[in-house]
Amino acid sequence: MKHFETYIETYLKPYRKELFYIFTVTEVAEICGVSSQTINKRIRNMTAEQLEKYVVFLKPNETKLKQVSKQGLLFFKAVYGITDEPHEETKKDSNNNSADSEVIAILKEQIRIKDEQIAMLMEQNRNFQYLLNKAEEVKALPEVKKSFLSRLFGRKE
């Protein structure tokens, strides 16, 4: 019976992810932000103790089919500097959100002021256009022509 339990622990339990949290090399590589080749190289360079602790071989004496245990994932995260700090990230996110909302409020105020300036300049432009049209009308009015005789015998002023 003991041999059977050892067999189950050795071969069957690693497949049950709900009990032993095992990860494929590709999953570990994605989590750590490196390629799966890098993880495989790191596994090949591990000592026997590290292999036993961090890597689960699916078939005994075969090194191609391997998965990484939960401790192995933590080891690789430590090696590649990946930290799990969701609480600090949420604090940073909330700080960033408040800072972003402040920036947005300031920018909205600036846009409102610019809109007022644009409206004022458009009103000035309309006034100048009106004055220009009036000046052109005055300039375009024909002068009253004096008759030939009045021009000839008229007084010069």
Q: Indicate the residue type of 62.
A: E
**149 within domain boundaries:** no
- Phi/psi at 71 (5° precision): -65, -35
Percent of the chain with pLDDT over 90: 20
Q: How far apart are CA 121 and CA 102, in angstroms?
A: 29
pLDDT in tens, 124-157: 999 999 999 998 888 877 777 778 877 778 776 5
pLDDT in tens, 29-62: 888 888 888 888 888 888 888 888 888 777 666 6
**146 within domain boundaries:** no
Q: Look at residues 10, 63, 18, 19 and name the one whose alpha carbon lies nearest to residue 41.
A: 63
pLDDT of residue 46: 84
pTM: 0.41
Domain that holds residue 127: 89-141
Asked if 107 and 74 sit in the same domain, the reply is no
Q: How many domains does the chain have?
A: 2
DSSP string, 72-133: HHHHHHHHHT----HHHHHHHHHHHHHHHHHHHHHHHHHHHHHHHHHHHHHHHHHHHHHHHH
